[in-house]
Amino acid sequence: MSDVAITTPDAAHAHSHEHAEHIHLPDPSLWPFLVAMSAGIIPVGILLLIAEKSMGGAVLGIGIVFVIISALGWCTSVIREKPTLDSAWANRTLSMGWKLFLVSEGAIFGAFFGHLFYIMYHWHKGAAWPPAGTPPISLIIPAIGTGLLVTSSVTCEMAHKFLLLGRRGACKSMMVLTMALGLIFLTLQALEWGVLGGLNFAPHTNIIGTLFYLITGFHGFHVLTGMMFLFLVYARLEFGSFDRSRHFSMNAASWYWHFVDVIWLLVFFTLYVGIQPAAH
């Protein structure tokens, strides 16, 4: 190997937490195994329900409870071990992982939107649009919802800014405001579902019912998840976690919230606007 450039190895250039003398490897953990096995119980419960077996509900419940317990166990173990990691590096890694996860979430919505666009594009010329059985779906409620969610994205961002400024009180108020806006949004959504359901409009009515309920429902589920996430972050704020440089879960929760907001804009401008009679 004559054409080899030799330099002195310099482990200090490595991630700063790694040195030859002290190697940090993550501790073994049973939590991933437990969460996976509990997650495996959930489909069994649903399958039993589909097969109309009486214990289905119980099995499903057990699965969900097990998943929640073991996931919480996993989270606490992570929070406890985190300080050993180099925080700038850990932040970068976690952010990237989380953003990639959001990409895949977007792709799931992509499948549903793809379905919607295909149906809209391929609708027979001259055939009634929206198809029979679809009641008029007002744009007013979703427009208010849009306003609420956009505002909540702003308040969420402000919460983050306040934390960076060290104003924890203001930060917490903004978090509460964000969650409240989300809650109003969900309430409106539930009201709308109730009204439409009263008009005998259901997922099985026609393809519009299917797409409408599945897309808004899946989105609503994400709003709910986002709120729980925000709440966990809020709770940790109350307990005094996070400082200016170390608040990854706050970032993650707010990205998630913005993501849910962006998806909603798509829902509003394609689904709601698209199924208006005039639009076709």
Partner 1 sequence: MSIATPPKEPQGGGVIDLDVYTPIEEPRTKTTQHKGILRWLTTVDHKMIGVMYLWFAGFSVIFGGALAGLIRTQLAFPNGIGGKPLMTPEYFNQFIGMHATFMMFGFVIPAFAGFGNYVIPIMIGARDMAFPKMNAFAFWILVPSGLLMASSFFFGSIPGGWTSYAPLSTKTYAPNLGVDMWIFAIHLAGVSSILGAINFIVTMSNMRAPGMKWFRMPLFCWATLVTSWLQLIGTPVLAGVVTMLLTDRILDTGFFNPAKGGDPLLYQHLFWFYSHPAVYIMMIPGFGMVSQVIQTFSGRPTFGYKGMVYATAFIGVVGFLVWGHHMFSAGMEPWLRAYFGFMTMLVGVPTGVKIFSWLATLWGGSIRFTTSMMFALGFLGLFTIGGISGVFLANVPFDVQVHDTYFVVAHIHYVMFGGAVMTIFAALYYWFPKMSGRYLSERLGKVIFWLIFTGMNVTFLPMHWLGIAGMARRIYTYRPEFHSLNMIVSSGYLLMLTGGLLLVGNVFYTLLAKRRTAPNDAWGGNEVQNTLEWMTTSPPPAHNFDRVPKIVPMAYESLHH
Residues that bind partner 1 (CB under 8 A): 1, 3-7, 9-11, 13-15, 18, 20-21, 23, 25-33, 35-37, 39-40, 43-44, 46-47, 50-51, 74, 78, 89, 92-93, 96-97, 100-101, 103-108, 110-112, 114-115, 118-119, 122, 131, 203-210, 214
- CB of 5 vs partner 1, minimal distance in Å: 5
Residue 73 in contact with residue 34, Cβ under 8 Å? Answer: yes
- CB of 98 vs partner 1, minimal distance in Å: 9
Which of 44/177 has CB closer to partner 1? Answer: 44
Which of 117/269 has CB closer to partner 1? Answer: 117
Which of 43/277 has CB closer to partner 1? Answer: 43
CA 62 to chain centre: 23
Which of 92/280 has CB closer to partner 1? Answer: 92
The conformation of residue 269, written as its DSSP 8-state character, comes to: I
- What stretches of 165-206 show up as alpha helix (H) in DSSP? 168-198
Nearest-angstrom CA–CA distance, 250 and 246: 9
- CB of 52 vs partner 1, minimal distance in Å: 11
* Ramachandran bin of 191, using left for φ above 0, alpha for ψ from -120 to 50, beta for the remaining angles: alpha
Q: Which of 147, 234, 135 is nearest to 182 (CA)?
A: 147
Nearest-angstrom CA–CA distance, 181 and 153: 10
- CB of 250 vs partner 1, minimal distance in Å: 19
- CB of 176 vs partner 1, minimal distance in Å: 31
Which of 101/231 has CB closer to partner 1? Answer: 101
The conformation of residue 13, written as its DSSP 8-state character, comes to: G
Length of the chain in terms of residues written: 280
